[in-house]
Structure 1
Amino acid sequence: MGIPHFLAIPYPILGHISPLFQFCQVLATNGYKITFLTSDNNFNRVNRAASEGKFVKSQMRVVSLPDGLGPEDDGSDQPKVILSIKTTMVAMLPKFIEDVNAMDSDNKISCVIVTKNMGWALQVALDLGLKGALFWPASATSLASFDSMQRLIDEGIIEPMLLIISFEISSGLPSKEHEKIKLCSNMPMIDASAMPWYCLDNTFYFHHMKQEIQTLKLAKWWLCNTTIDLEPGPFSISPNLIPIGPLIATNYNKSEEKTCQEWLDQQPPKSVIYISFGSMVSPSKEQFKELALGLDFLNMPFLWVINKNNNNNPLLYPENFKGNKGKIVGWVMQKKKVLSHPSIACFVSHCGWNSTMEGVCCGVPFLCWPFCSDQIINKTYICDVWKVGIEFEKDENGLVSREEIKKKVEMLFEDEGIKERSLKLKEMMIKNKVEGDKNLNEFINWVKE
Structure 2
Amino acid sequence: MCVYNCIYIELITTTHHNHSSSIHKKLMGIPHILVLPFPAQGHVNPLMHLSKRLVQHGFKITFLNTDFNHKRVVSATNEHVNLEGPRMRLISIPDGLGPEDDRNDLASLCVAMLRTMPSLVERVIEDINGLDDDASEKISGIIADVNMSWALEIADKLGIKGAVLCPSAAAISAMQESIPKLIQDGILDSNGLPVKNRKFQILPGMPIMDTADIPWCIGDSTSMKIIFDYVVRLVQWSHLTDWRLCNTTSDLEPEALSLCPKILPIGPLMESDDNLRSLGQFWEEDLSCLSWLDQQPPCSVIYIAFGSFTVFDPLQFKELALGLELTNKSFLWVVREDIDTKGNTKTAYPDEFQGTRGKIVKWAPQQKVLRHPATACFISHCGWNSTVEGLSNGVPFLCWPYFADQVFDKSYICDVWKVGLGFDLDEKGLISRWEIKKKVDQLLGDDNIRGRSQKLKGMIVNNTLEGGQSYENFNKFVEWLKE
Residue 30 of structure 1 and its aligned partner are, at CA, apart by 1.9
For residues 118 and 374 of structure 1, the distance between their equivalents in structure 2, rounded to whole angstroms, comes to 17
Q: Tell me how far 1:338 sits from its aligned partner.
A: 0.7
Contact 2:300 2:330 survives alignment (8 Å): yes
| Equivalent position of 1:130 in the other structure | 160
Q: Is the 8 A contact 1:50 1:62 kept in 2?
A: no
Deviation at residue 45 of structure 1 after TM alignment? 2.8
**1:271 matched to 2:300:** yes
**2:443 aligned counterpart, secondary structure:** helix
Which residue number in structure 2 is paired with residue 307 of structure 1?
336
Instruction: Give 1:191's aligned residue.
Output: 210
Cα separation, partners in 2 of 1:142 and 1:70, compared to 1, 3 Å: same
**Pair 1:441-2:468 in alignment:** no
Quote the offset at 1:306 in angstroms.
Answer: 0.8
Structure 2 SS opposite 1:81: helix
Equivalent residues in 2 for 1:310-321, closer than 5 Å = 311=340, 313-314=343-344, 315-321=347-353
Distance 1:63 1:258 in 2: 26
| Alignment of 1:370 onto 2:401 | yes
Q: CA deviation at 1:50?
A: 9.7
- In the other structure, the counterpart of 2:64 is 37
Conserved 8 A contact 1:79-1:205 = yes
Match of residue 236 from structure 1: 258
Note the C-alpha offset of 1:372.
1.1
Could you tell me how far apart the structure 1 residues matched to 2:249 and 2:82 are? Answer: 28
1:166 aligned partner:
none
Q: What residue identity is the alignment partner of 1:142?
A: I
- Cα deviation per residue 1:357-397 (whole Å; 9 max; x = unaligned)? 00000000000111111111111111111111010111122
Aligned partner letter, 2:44: I
TM-score under structure 1 normalisation?
0.92
291-300 vs 183-192, greater mean Cα deviation: 183-192
CA contact (8 A) 2:323 2:436 kept: yes
Separation of aligned partners in 2, 1:318 and 1:408: 22
Rounded to whole Å, the distance in 1 between the matches of 2:291 and 2:205 is: 44
Q: Of 448, 461, 464, which residue of structure 2 is paired with 1:417?
A: 448
For 2:78 and 2:48, locate their aligned partners in 1 and report how far apart those are by CA, in whole Å.
9
Q: Deviations over 1:199-236 (max 9, x none)?
A: 45422222221122111211221111110011111112
**Which residue identity lines up with residue 262 of structure 1 in the other structure?**
S
Match of 1:94 among 122, 125, 146: 122
CA shift for structure 1 position 309: 4.3
> Which residue of the partner structure matches residue 3 of structure 2?
none
Q: Is the contact between residue 54 and residue 252 of structure 1 (CA under 8 Å) also seen in structure 2?
A: no
Cα deviation, residue 401, structure 1: 0.2
CA drift at 1:175: 4.2
Counterpart for residue 249 of structure 2: 227
- Please report how far the alpha carbon of residue 446 of structure 1 lies from its aligned counterpart in structure 2 after TM superposition: 1.4
Q: Does the 8 Å CA contact 2:285/2:365 hold for their aligned counterparts?
A: no
Partner residue, 2:88: 60
Separation in 1, partners of 2:200, 2:435? 29
1:164-313 to 2 correspondences below 5 Å: 169-171=191-193, 173-175=194-196, 179-200=198-219, 201-249=223-271, 251-252=276-277, 257-309=286-338, 311=340, 313=343
Q: Partner amino acid for 1:232?
A: P
Q: Which residue does 1:325 correspond to in 2?
A: 357
TM-score by length of structure 2 reads 0.86
**Whole-angstrom CA distance in 2 between matches of 1:432 and 1:42:** 32
Alpha-carbon distance in structure 1 between the residues aligned to 2:226 and 2:200: 22
Distance in 2 (CA, whole Å) between partners of 1:437 and 1:56 is 31
CA distance, structure 2, for counterparts of residue 295 and residue 285 of structure 1: 15
Of 421, 426, 432, the residue aligned with 2:457 is 426
Cα shift readout 1:308-341 (whole Å, capped 9, x = no counterpart)? 1455612211112100110000111111x21111
Measured in 2, the distance between the counterparts of 1:255 and 1:43 equals 13
Q: Which runs of 5+ in 1 are unaligned?
A: 162-168
- Paired-residue identity, %: 46
Deviation at 1:255? 8.2
1:89 is aligned with what amino acid? M
Matched, 1:6 2:22: no
CA 309–217 in structure 1, closer or farther in 2 if over 3 Å, else same: same
2:365 corresponds to which letter in structure 1?
M
> Separation in 1 of the partners of 2:226 and 2:120?
25
Aligned length in residues = 437
